């Protein structure tokens, strides 16, 4: 066996191991993503009680809505809709 055949064999085995490892790892959802467009901004983030939240800002009206994912019912639950100014604390 020459060195080219040996190298091709090693690379093939390495590729097979990487493909199998990639198939065995479950995909995870990414968080903390921000998207803007068409007058809306959407941000995902972890919420205080340990779940995931979606914050939607309507740039035209200046209001934002918060939705959280409920694992028990497997649904997106609305939490609040408020003016954007309520999200910031102002000191006088």
29 belongs to a structural domain = yes
Q: Which residue has the tokens 């497997």?
A: 74
Residue 31 has pLDDT above 60, yes or no: no
48 belongs to a structural domain = yes
Which residue, 25, 74, 35, is CA-closest to 51?
Answer: 74
92 belongs to a structural domain = no
Domain of residue 53 covers 3-87
Number of structural domains the chain divides into: 1
pLDDT at 2: 85
* Burial classification of residue 64, based on how many CB atoms lie within 10 Å of its CB (0-12 exposed, 13-18 middle, 19 or more buried): buried
pTM here is 0.54
9 belongs to a structural domain = yes
20 belongs to a structural domain = yes
Residue 13 has pLDDT above 90, yes or no: yes
Which residue, 43, 46, 26, 25, is CA-closest to 34?
Answer: 43
Lowest mean pLDDT among 8-12, 43-47, 78-82: 43-47
């Amino acid at each position: 066996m020459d060195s080219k055949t040996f190298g091709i064999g090693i690379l093939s085995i390495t590729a097979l191991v990487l493909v199998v490892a990639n198939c065995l790892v479950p995909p995870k959802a990414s968080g903390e993503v921000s998207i803007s467009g068409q007058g809306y901004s959407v941000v995902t983030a972890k919420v205080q009680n340990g779940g995931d939240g979606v914050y939607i800002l309507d740039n035209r009206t200046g209001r934002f809505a918060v939705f959280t994912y409920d694992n028990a019912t497997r649904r997106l639950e609305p939490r609040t809709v408020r003016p954007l100014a309520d999200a910031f604390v102002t000191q006088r």
